[in-house]
């Protein structure tokens, strides 16, 4: 009987989040209640690379005590990847290989946990399988700290990083406010967000009155104007004695060039950014003479499971759990979404949309989420973010540090030759 039941392939893709493993945990728990319908859960080692290289992790052979820790473990516990498959109409070699591996391992379900690029991969694979008459149900599971996927009300991963950024900005603001009288006047935090300012915006929720930090938020949606920015910094210090700035890594000058552009690009072809903070810091010190402290949180923000939002953890888990329910209903070619109910207190549920509605589309910060001067967030934006950062969900600690899952990645035996 077991033999006829198709196996499930799941993988994590793109930049990881503090809660992507909570999605895996939801899927694993859901599978344990649907054992009569499915075969094994095989997880791609390093995302889609696991399918191509026939490196399939046999989750059932991982220690149960470690699997239980997935819900509170950051990073991609099974390995992620930055691999964008070539267009299957021009180069179908990779797609054929994936099908070969899936056939060899009796895989009938493809669950891909990622952002916009990964939804594109899922859509392409779905189309390729239809063309080639291979019955593969393809479901996209959203994940991105950037919160830039369309249709879904928000993306699992964002709420936790938003909570980290808001908390960190608040804390560092208290620090610089203490020091400003005789030392540092400006604190500048660089946060992620290549094209969308959702993460930079999250710092704005700590501001209650106009003198509160952050005093300046720099969004990638707003063209950076050096003169205007410097005058804003100066006015702020004259008024408050200190200035807190949160800058998105993706801010651009009036030529449309990244302020922090470096020559390296990732395999998706995106410029690899980093370095806006020292650049702006030098600018302020050179032009205005103030002492500046700057921080670049980089992976620290993306992995900060110790300060995750419990709302975010619940949503990430629910996405994983709901994915099998969707398959049970025969639904295919969709990405799961978070839907919020309008009006009253925040309530949400899991929905879905066709992959073609989300693949390769970036949702930027809406205009009415940014204040008219371009340096802050509106009440509407704040309300949206407040809902997502709500609630604490601490990992257990052992010897003073979080007790995160340690997996072994046991692979199922290979059946095929190596892929070249």
CB of 221 to a second copy, least distance (A): 23
399 counts as binding a second copy under rule CB under 8 A: yes
Count CB-CB contacts under 10 A for residue 141.
Answer: 28
Please list every residue from 93 through 122 that binds a second copy, using CB under 8 A: none
73 counts as binding a second copy under rule CB under 8 A: yes
300 counts as binding a second copy under rule CB under 8 A: yes
DSSP 238-303: HHHS-EEEEEETT-B-TTS-BTT--S-B-TTS-B----HHHHHHHHHHHHH---EEEEE-THHHHT
172 counts as binding a second copy under rule CB under 8 A: yes
- β partners of residue 43: 10, 57
**What is the distance between the alpha carbons of residues 212 and 244, in angstroms, rounded to a whole number?**
9
For 265-301, b/e burial (b = at least 16 CB within 10 A) is eeeeeebebeebbeebbebbeeebebebbbebbeeeb
181 counts as binding a second copy under rule CB under 8 A: yes
334 counts as binding a second copy under rule CB under 8 A: no
CB of 140 to a second copy, least distance (A): 19
Owner of token pair 């994915």 = 323
# residues near a second copy by CB under 8 A: 75
CB of 281 to a second copy, least distance (A): 8
Count CB-CB contacts under 10 A for residue 134.
Answer: 15
Comparison of 187 and 352: residue with beta carbon closer to a second copy: 187
Name which position in 6, 69, 124, 305 contacts a second copy (CB under 8 A): 305
Helix or strand (DSSP H, E) at 140 = strand 137-142
**What is the distance between the alpha carbons of residues 396 and 404, in angstroms, rounded to a whole number?**
8
Name which position in 306, 314, 363, 409 contacts a second copy (CB under 8 A): 306
Comparison of 266 and 373: residue with beta carbon closer to a second copy: 266
CB of 317 to a second copy, least distance (A): 18
**What is the distance between the alpha carbons of residues 280 and 226, in angstroms, rounded to a whole number?**
9
CB of 94 to a second copy, least distance (A): 13
Which DSSP category does 326 fall into? H
Name which position in 291, 339, 364, 414 contacts a second copy (CB under 8 A): 291
Residue 34 in 3-state DSSP? coil
Name which position in 6, 9, 10, 12 contacts a second copy (CB under 8 A): 12
278 counts as binding a second copy under rule CB under 8 A: yes
275 counts as binding a second copy under rule CB under 8 A: yes
Backbone angles phi, psi at 403, to 5 degrees: -100, 90
189 counts as binding a second copy under rule CB under 8 A: yes
* Nearest residue to 215 via CA among 231, 226, 199: 231
294 counts as binding a second copy under rule CB under 8 A: yes
Name which position in 60, 151, 177, 271 contacts a second copy (CB under 8 A): 177
Instruction: With contacts defined by CB under 8 A, name the span among 59-67, 78-86, 328-336, 348-356 that binds a second copy.
Output: 78-86
* Nearest residue to 175 via CA among 165, 185, 163: 185
**What is the distance between the alpha carbons of residues 152 and 163, in angstroms, rounded to a whole number?**
19
Please list every residue from 358 through 397 that binds a second copy, using CB under 8 A: 386, 389-392, 394, 397
Per-residue contact string for residues 255-274; x = within reach of a second copy by CB under 8 A:
---------x-xx----x-x
170 counts as binding a second copy under rule CB under 8 A: yes
Name which position in 77, 280, 319, 370 contacts a second copy (CB under 8 A): 77
Residue 60 in 3-state DSSP? helix
State the catalytic residues.
146
206 counts as binding a second copy under rule CB under 8 A: yes
Name which position in 35, 131, 132, 183 contacts a second copy (CB under 8 A): 183
Q: Is the dihedral of CA 78, 307, 82, 151 positive or negative?
A: positive
Backbone angles phi, psi at 180, to 5 degrees: -60, -30
């Amino acid at each position: 009987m077991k033999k006829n039941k198709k196996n499930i392939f799941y993988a994590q893709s793109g930049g990881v989040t503090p809660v992507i493993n909570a999605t895996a945990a939801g899927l694993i728990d859901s599978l344990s209640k649907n054992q009569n319908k499915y075969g094994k859960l095989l997880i791609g080692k390093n995302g889609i690379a696991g399918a191509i290289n026939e490196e399939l992790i046999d989750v059932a052979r991982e220690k149960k005590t470690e699997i239980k820790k997935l819900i509170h473990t950051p990073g991609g516990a099974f390995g992620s990847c930055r691999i964008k498959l070539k267009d299957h109409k021009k180069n179908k070699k990779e797609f054929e290989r994936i099908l070969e591996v899936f056939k060899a391992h009796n895989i009938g379900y493809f669950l891909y946990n990622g952002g916009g690029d990964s939804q594109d991969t899922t859509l392409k694979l779905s189309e390729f399988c239809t063309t080639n008459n291979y019955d593969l149900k393809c479901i996209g599971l959203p994940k991105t700290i950037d919160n830039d996927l369309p249709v879904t009300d928000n993306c699992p991963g964002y709420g936790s990083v938003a909570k980290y950024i808001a908390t960190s900005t608040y804390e560092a603001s208290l620090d610089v406010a203490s020091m400003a009288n005789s030392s540092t006047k400006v604190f500048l935090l660089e946060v992620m967000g290549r094209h969308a300012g959702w993460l930079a915006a999250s710092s704005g929720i700590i501001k209650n009155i106009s003198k509160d930090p952050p005093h300046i938020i720099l969004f990638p949606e707003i063209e950076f104007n050096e003169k205007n920015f410097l005058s804003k910094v100066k006015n702020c210090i004259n008024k408050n004695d200190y200035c807190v700035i949160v800058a998105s890594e993706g801010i651009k000058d009036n030529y449309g060039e990244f302020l922090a552009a470096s020559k390296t690009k990732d395999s998706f072809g995106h410029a690899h950014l980093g370095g806006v903070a020292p650049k702006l810091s030098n600018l302020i010190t050179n032009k205005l003479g103030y002492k500046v402290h700057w921080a670049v949180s980089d992976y620290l923000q993306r992995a900060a499971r110790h300060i995750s939002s419990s709302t975010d953890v619940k949503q990430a888990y629910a996405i994983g759990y709901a994915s099998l329910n969707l398959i049970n209903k025969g639904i295919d070619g969709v990405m799961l979404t978070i839907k919020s109910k309008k009006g009253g207190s925040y309530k949400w549920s899991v929905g879905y949309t066709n992959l073609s509605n989300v693949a390769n589309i970036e949702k930027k910060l809406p205009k009415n989420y940014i204040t008219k001067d371009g340096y802050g967030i509106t009440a509407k934006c704040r309300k949206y973010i407040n809902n997502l950062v709500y609630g604490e969900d601490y990992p257990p600690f052992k010897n003073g540090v979080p007790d995160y899952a340690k997996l072994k990645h046991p692979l199922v035996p290979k059946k095929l030759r190596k892929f070249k």
